[in-house]
Structure 1
Amino acid sequence: MNAVPAPVPLAHPVTTGTPTPTVPADRTVSAVDARGLTRSFGKVRAVDGIDLRIEPGEVVAVLGPNGAGKTTTIDLLLGLSAPDAGTVSIYGLTPRAAVARGLVGAVMQTGGLLTDVTVRDVVRLTASLFADVQPVDDVLDRAGIRAIADRRVAKCSGGEQQRLRFAMALLSDPGLLVLDEPTTGMDVTGRRDFWDAIRADAARGRTIVFATHYLEEADAFADRIVLVSHGRVVADGTAAEIKALASDRTIRATVRDVDQPALSAMPGVRSVTRQGESVLVVAADSDAVARHLLTRTDATDIEIVSHSLEDAFVALTGDAPGETADTPVRMPQP
């Protein structure tokens, strides 16, 4: 029989109906307050001076390329790893103390599960490790897996196993839920249903911190995005604010006669590309380019497209270490 992973210890009085997440009475205390965190592995500095403050009830996405330091940062928040320098508190407590008081739940992207028992049995076994938990059927419902409660874990898909980990994390109804690539292995419908459940929890006051490679998830579900590159925070704000940092826009128009050198010479124009009867212009001042096309050419069907979160992600993280990480871009927080 496979070993059960050591779950995050949680504790919360048994309740029925729709419980309120476990949070301290002092609402002025941040859910997460990390300052100057650093963590190295040999000569590799995975986390390099990260500052991160998250208030109760926020849904925050942590984004970054592979090796950016996202998972290491999450380990530091959960007390699974100690920082080489800096401090981190969860609701004013050390991570381990917050975990011991049942303030934190976690869904990690990997971790062994008992495969030769049922989904319900795994949740029951996990619940038996704690003093006070939510009813097993309640967390199965909230994780969307009650219908497969009697299925052996070995017969569950990767997405269903992620939902099982989610159910285990919900047993104490923690105030802070930390998710590391939570929808790995889920299909489109499963991901949508999962995030609907997360949003419902956040509406009740739960704080959600998640790392993901799916940029559309961060765009759609996060109140705030923290972009990490080379172990540092390079941008911190809403999805709209992050997108605005990649200020260039693409102007597409159908045009037969256009002076490409003249377009290229306009202030703020990054590139001009001809594609058959169309021209694509990437520029900081899209209005000026559109005006030029309308008044100086025979352009029709002019379309202006703002950059996406993916465009901002690429622009802000860069390809070479230190390209953008030396100057973090922070938007004012409410």
Structure 2
Amino acid sequence: MTVLVTGGAGYIGSHMVLKLLEHNEEVVVIDNLSTGNEWAVSPQATFYKADIADPEALDTIFSNHKIDAIIHFAGLIIVSESVEVPLDYYSENTCKSRFLIQHALDAKVENFIFSSSAAVYGAPGLEPVSEAAPFVPESPYGTSKLMTELMLRDVAAVNPGFRYAALRYFNVAGADPQMRAGQSSRLSTHLIKIAAEAATGKRDGLQIFGDDFQTPDGTCVRDYIHVTDLAGAHYCALTYLRNGGASIAANCGYGSGYSVRQVVDAVKAVSGVDFKVTQAPRRAGDAAMIVADSTLARDALGWSPEFEDLETVIRHALQWERNLGNRTGGNPAG
């Protein structure tokens, strides 16, 4: 059987491909390369450059490969941008997901794993946040992810052969420990990525957005998860579904939060570089604090993270950044 990975040329998707290949899975990747890089896709995977809403491409993939599972990463991910251009996010994240789900049903694909987000909760004011928290997304990005989850829920309810896992990410960071993949986006908004760029001289410094949140030091608090552990959670979800597990939505995080200032200070300490930091106003859609309760992922899916340490996450991110070929992303050097 074969796993189809959408957005497999992107940051998390490329790590997922590596994880699947490590488990001797046959892997097919579809990515339109709007933000991903073809070089990031392992040559052991079969790659199709196409959009997930391209019917001819999907027909070709399902005709040429016996797909038993889809792991769906493709979509837009910048919270502040979603506030500015909401219809783009509903188009890319919701409408195109609906198209992909329909093709999965038509092709009788039984297992669907969706890249969701903690943004579906908004700013719950709870620590840690469990899956029982109410859905109050504060951005079109969060709403677009929630809408896709609701589609999957409703489709699974009337199609007994179709089951899904929606994994709600907290803040993803780091890079493959073997440096085969990492965060290579040209316009990243991920804090640890930006701080690593500042520490390696690719930026003049970084901005902290907001210092008046209701947190201990006034800056946002987040739960940072290593990207390789996140890929591992997806593989656990795949195994769970293949073994007959019921449809599930689960948080993916470590259950410990760090403020923006704490992360910046940690990057400075690990890198040994005291880069410039300036204060800026809040960004639209940013919640003050959100930390995961990942008990369900650990207990139901059998997920056991390996890199549950902020310093390790930062060290891998810095090593990847030093290996990148140029200032805006590219093949890793060496």
Tell me the TM-score normalized by structure 1: 0.28
Q: Larger Cα Rg: Structure 1 or Structure 2?
A: 1
Write 1 or 2 for the structure with the bigger share of helix. Answer: 2
Tell me the TM-score normalized by structure 2: 0.28
Write 1 or 2 for the structure with the bigger share of strand. Answer: 1
